[in-house]
């Protein structure tokens, strides 16, 4: 069996503190500020999602990088949930929007599609 080729993702944001608060609230996780090298006056900040070493998960970070806009991208990140309706219920209160409420995807479970505070679409996925 082939392993999952996804090992890292980045969600570009314009306001990293606002985006961090949004994802921590919706996903009920603590994010980790990463130390990153910066050159000159260039703004480059990263906050990582949790990661379990040697686990079956991929991780990534919110990235605020001068000159790289958020939103309007064609990459969709799906976050695993016990029941995606739970995380979906936190989206609007955290400042985001719900594009498509929880819906069935047959034997593959359920999804919700939402928009974060930076205009990025993301998915929530669960088996119930």
**Residue 3 covered by a domain:** no
Which pLDDT does position 49 carry in this prediction? 93
Query: pLDDT digits over 11-20, tens only?
Result: 989 999 999 9
| Residue 2 resides in a domain | no
CATH of the domain at 47: 3.10.180.10
Residues 61 and 72: their CA atoms lie apart, in Å, by 18
Note down the domain range covering 91: 8-126
Secondary structure (DSSP) of the chain: -PPP---EEEEE-S-HHHHHHHHHHHHT---EEEP----TT--EEEEEPP--TTSS--EEEEEEETT---S--S--EEEE-SSHHHHHHHHGGGT-EEEEEEEE-GGG-EEEEEE-TTS-EEEEEE--
Residue 1 lies in a domain: no
Look at residue 13 and tell me if it is in a domain: yes
Query: Do the domain assignments include residue 101?
Result: yes
For the stretch 78-120, pLDDT in tens is: 999 999 999 999 999 999 999 999 988 888 899 999 999 999 9
**Model-level pTM?**
0.78
Tell me what percent of the residues of the chain surpass a pLDDT of 70: 88
pLDDT band at 38 (very low <50, low <70, confident <90, very high): low
What does the pLDDT look like over 109-119, one tens digit per residue? 999 999 999 99
User: How many domains, in total, are found in the chain?
Assistant: 1
């Amino acid at each position: 069996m082939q392993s999952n080729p996804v090992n890292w993702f980045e969600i570009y944001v314009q306001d990293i503190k606002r985006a961090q608060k949004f994802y921590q609230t919706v996903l009920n996780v603590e994010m980790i500020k990463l130390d990153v090298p910066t050159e000159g006056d260039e703004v480059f900040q990263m906050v990582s999602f949790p990661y379990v070493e040697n686990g079956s998960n991929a991780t990534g970070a919110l990235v605020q990088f001068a000159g790289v806009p958020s939103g309007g991208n064609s990459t969709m990140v799906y976050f695993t949930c016990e029941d995606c309706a739970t995380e979906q219920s936190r989206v609007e209160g955290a400042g985001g929007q719900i594009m498509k409420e929880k819906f069935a995807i047959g034997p593959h479970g359920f999804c919700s599609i939402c928009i974060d505070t930076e205009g990025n679409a993301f998915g929530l996925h669960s088996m119930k």
